[in-house]
Chain A
Amino acid sequence: MLEVHGLKKRYGRKKSILEGVSFSVRPDSITCLIGLNGEGKSTILKAIMGLVPVDAGTVLVDGEVSREKIAFVPDLQTMPGYMTIGDALTYMGDYYPDWNSKVAEELMGLFKLLTTDKILELSKGNQAKFSLVLGFALDRQYLLLDEPFAGIDLFTKEQIAWIFSSHYMEGRGILMTTHEIIEIEHLIDRVVFLQDGRIIDEHDTEEMREVYGKSVQDRMREVYQR
């Protein structure tokens, strides 16, 4: 279990980004952090990975303070621009002991990516797919995805959404932020609604649909339009 306890983050004295955020992500499940722009979704992911310092709070993975079981896929390109995809895959293999080159190769084939392509010359959709390859080919139990569908076309979104129902998901806990809920609503197990740096609502999606008769999108409208 990935547990986030009491994350607090302030910029200066006045601007509070996170106000004691706590939630958990189970293995074999997809949890979605939902919120309007600037509500602190990306900051939570970065804080979990130690990419921004927090004022308070802890992150535990299976009861331990460690990030070795978590992979992070930000919504931007993280490999140097001069590299080709092939260079980047070699780089990952060199630096990460838990890099799974077999999975990387399979996903490269499925996404029709070429090792000779330069990373910065890839289309937005192919960049997103390649980022997913870098995340899923790490043998890690938890995967954090920041806006994996931002700014890409419908077919690419469908291809990316496919991976969440594939065998590559087995045993993994996914925590993602997204605005594009329609494409993956049927795949999400849990939603966490954020507002003003606080969690204002949390649901198992199945329970929400069965007991309350509401989709995630319906609930989003209720939460953010009231």
Chain B
Amino acid sequence: MKQYLMLTNEELKRSWKMIVSVILAMASIEILTIVGRVIYHERQVKEYMSYAKLSESDAIETIGELSFQQASSYFSYVIMIGIVLVILYAIQIWYRDWLGESKYIYRLLLLPGSRAKIFFAKWTSLALVIISFIGLQWVVIQLSYVIFNWLIKDDYRASSFNMSMALKQLYTMNVVDLLLIVLVSLFVVSFLFMLVLLERSYRKAKGLIFIILEVAFLLLITVGNMYVIEKLDIFLSQEISAIMVAIFVLYFVYTIWKSLRLLKWKISV
């Protein structure tokens, strides 16, 4: 346990500059887009006023008020970039130990005790990054809303606080939904870890074949189950959700079990 905690700390220590830089960059971009959208909207109204010789209220009526939903429309793209970066980090966290200037993977695999701690230390690092990412994004959205209200004149602002659909799905206040988002993210991380470990165990063509087989297997059980459930047509929607969650949890456990076996028996430096 102590070694697992120390390794997790080590993993985070190795990446914290990159993680903090990315989070700060994303938060800055999001806040700047809010400021930019408010300024741009105000300028649009002013320009239209002088061009069409209209009063401010008429110009706003023509151009439209600016809602927080419109002002934060770029957030979805920034969040997508964040998701891609997390995926890349899930891959990089392993490959840097093989392909970096030093071959730290030798040291990790030679540490006394079970190799499972290596897997779980990297997995925990990703989990902490994902939870921090979601938490900080939530704070940035709240902060952006305050900034938006502070910057924009009352007449220019659409009254309701509406988030886009994408943001709504990501920033639910429902604990179960939040838990589900974190769980799905961790499943993706575990699946990526398994693919990386397959490649690092079998390498080249054989590694690629195993990766394709695992992806096909995942697709098969997902699509296959959905097809069977639909064909049978005997389950209530809640039962279908329960079946899908059960399959998802089983596959989640399978990815971790498979990764640990690869680390113990098949991995190659």
Which residues of A does B touch, CB under 8 Å? Answer: 12, 46, 49-53, 68, 72, 74, 76-82, 91, 94-97, 119-120
User: Which A residues touch B6, using CB under 8 A?
Assistant: 94-95
* Contact across chains for A53 and B266 when beta carbons are under 8 A apart: yes
Q: What's the Cα separation between A94 and B158 when bound, in Å?
A: 59
* Contact across chains for A51 and B269 when beta carbons are under 8 A apart: yes
* Contact across chains for A80 and B102 when beta carbons are under 8 A apart: yes
* Closest beta carbon of chain A to B114's beta carbon, Å: 12
Contact A68/B112 with A82-B14, A95-B6 known, Cβ cut-off 8 Å: yes
* Contact across chains for A51 and B102 when beta carbons are under 8 A apart: no
Contact A80/B14 with A46-B269, A74-B103 known, Cβ cut-off 8 Å: yes
User: Which A residues touch B3, using CB under 8 A?
Assistant: 95
Which residues of B does A touch, CB under 8 Å? Answer: 3, 6, 10, 14, 100-104, 106-107, 109-112, 201, 206, 265-269
Main secondary structure of the interface of A (DSSP, over half): loop
* Contact across chains for A78 and B107 when beta carbons are under 8 A apart: yes
Q: What's the Cα separation between A77 and B106 when bound, in Å?
A: 9
Contact A81/B269 with A74-B106, A95-B6 known, Cβ cut-off 8 Å: no
* Closest beta carbon of chain A to B9's beta carbon, Å: 10
Would you give 19 A-B contacts (Cβ < 8 Å), ordered by A?
A12-B206, A51-B109, A51-B110, A51-B269, A68-B112, A72-B110, A74-B103, A74-B106, A77-B102, A79-B102, A79-B104, A80-B14, A80-B102, A81-B100, A81-B102, A91-B10, A95-B111, A96-B111, A97-B112
* Contact across chains for A80 and B109 when beta carbons are under 8 A apart: no
Q: Which chain A residue lies CB-closest to B205?
A: A12
Residue from the list B101, B112, B268 in contact with A95, Cβ < 8 A: B112
Q: What's the Cα separation between A50 and B103 when bound, in Å?
A: 16
Main secondary structure of the interface of B (DSSP, over half): helix
Q: What's the Cα separation between A60 and B149 when bound, in Å?
A: 72
* Contact across chains for B112 and A77 when beta carbons are under 8 A apart: no
User: Which A residues touch B100, using CB under 8 A?
Assistant: 80-81
* Closest beta carbon of chain A to B32's beta carbon, Å: 32
User: Which B residues touch A78, using CB under 8 A?
Assistant: 102-104, 106-107, 110
Q: What's the Cα separation between A89 and B265 when bound, in Å?
A: 29
* Contact across chains for A50 and B109 when beta carbons are under 8 A apart: yes
Q: Which chain A residue lies CB-closest to B97?
A: A80
Contact A77/B269 with A68-B112, A95-B112 known, Cβ cut-off 8 Å: no
Q: What's the Cα separation between A53 and B101 when bound, in Å?
A: 24
User: Which A residues touch B110, using CB under 8 A?
Assistant: 49, 51, 72, 78
User: Which B residues touch A52, using CB under 8 A?
Assistant: 268-269
* Closest beta carbon of chain B to A81's beta carbon, Å: 5
User: Which A residues touch B265, using CB under 8 A?
Assistant: 53
* Contact across chains for A53 and B268 when beta carbons are under 8 A apart: yes
Closest 4 CB pairs of A and B: A77-B102, A78-B106, A78-B107, A51-B269
Q: Which chain B residue lies CB-closest to A98?
A: B112
* Closest beta carbon of chain B to A29's beta carbon, Å: 23
Residue from the list B10, B14, B103, B109 in contact with A77, Cβ < 8 A: B103
* Contact across chains for B102 and A76 when beta carbons are under 8 A apart: yes
Given contacts A72-B106, A78-B104, 7 further A-B contacts (CB under 8 A): A52-B268, A53-B201, A77-B102, A77-B103, A80-B100, A80-B104, A82-B14
Q: Which chain A residue lies CB-closest to B6?
A: A94
Q: What's the Cα separation between A97 and B106 when bound, in Å?
A: 18
